[in-house]
A and B are shown apart, each in its own frame.
Chain A
Amino acid sequence: SQQGEEDPQALSIQEGENATMNCSYKTSINNLQWYRQNSGRGLVHLILIRSNEREKHSGRLRVTLDTSKKSSSLLITASRAADTASYFCATDPRTGAGSYQLTFGKGTKLSVIP
């Protein structure tokens, strides 16, 4: 089953607005990562937040993590047309044997209208 589930599935906003995407997961994690994928391309890492962190910033990106609710959010401020892409959260489930795989959600498709 999917470890991470993004919400909403699709989001359309005007350029300059903020975009917020949410991710929920099921098991304890070591870290949570957000990736971006432009149509027909590979994934690009955006930001990683560890389980003992609550908030992290990187440029126009702000990520929060609430381990008690098993959820994370990605905020993109002052969006640009170039931000149009699919955004995925990926979790690294914590297991006793060590974790070897990231588990991805289905993604949020963001459209930023110029």
Chain B
Amino acid sequence: NAGVMQNPRHLVRRRGQEARLRCSPMKGHSHVYWYRQLPEEGLKFMVYLQKENIIDESGMPKERFSAEFPKEGPSILRIQQVVRGDSAAYFCASSPNRVDTGELFFGEGSRLTVL
């Protein structure tokens, strides 16, 4: 049973370009969470999605960032017009139920570097 799959693992973009990060949850998991981690910091919640629905996007910047989890295919975190401050590791996690009932399963992360 494959774990949470994220790609790409590393992504380099120039300022102003777009970054697309993909996440396939564990089989049977319908809850997806995106977190951002800056160097030497903990993880900061960005968004929580279920299939075709954004449930909580309170941690996501209002501009340039968007997330989706379509009926078919992976969840995608999209960052438009990237700036140097977007450089970070972005982690996706999934769970079979809502987080207040159990653990999250994390992917290996996508490391974005903005030049």
The verdict on B33 contacting chain A, using a C-beta distance below 8 Å, is yes
The 0/1 profile, CB within 8 Å of B marked 1, for residues 43-56 of chain A is: 11100100000000
Among A94, A102, A104, A107, the most chain B Cβ lie within 10 Å of the Cβ of A102
Give A107 Cβ to nearest chain B Cβ, in Å: 6
A80 CB contacts on chain B under 8 angstroms: none
Contact B42 A101 (CB under 8 A): no
A88 CB contacts on chain B under 8 angstroms: 42-43
A92 CB contacts on chain B under 8 angstroms: 99-100
Instruction: Choose among B41, B45, B48, B91 the residue that contacts A42 (Cβ–Cβ < 8 A).
Output: B91
Tell me the B69-106 residues at the A interface (CB within 8 Å): 91, 93, 98-100, 102-106
| Residues of B in contact, count (CB < 8 Å) | 27
B44 CB contacts on chain A under 8 angstroms: 104
Also in contact, A43 and B106, with CB within 8 A (given A88-B42, A88-B43, A102-B45): yes
Tell me the A1-43 residues at the B interface (CB within 8 Å): 2, 4, 30-31, 33, 35, 41-43
Contact B108 A102 (CB under 8 A): no
Contact A2 B42 (CB under 8 A): yes
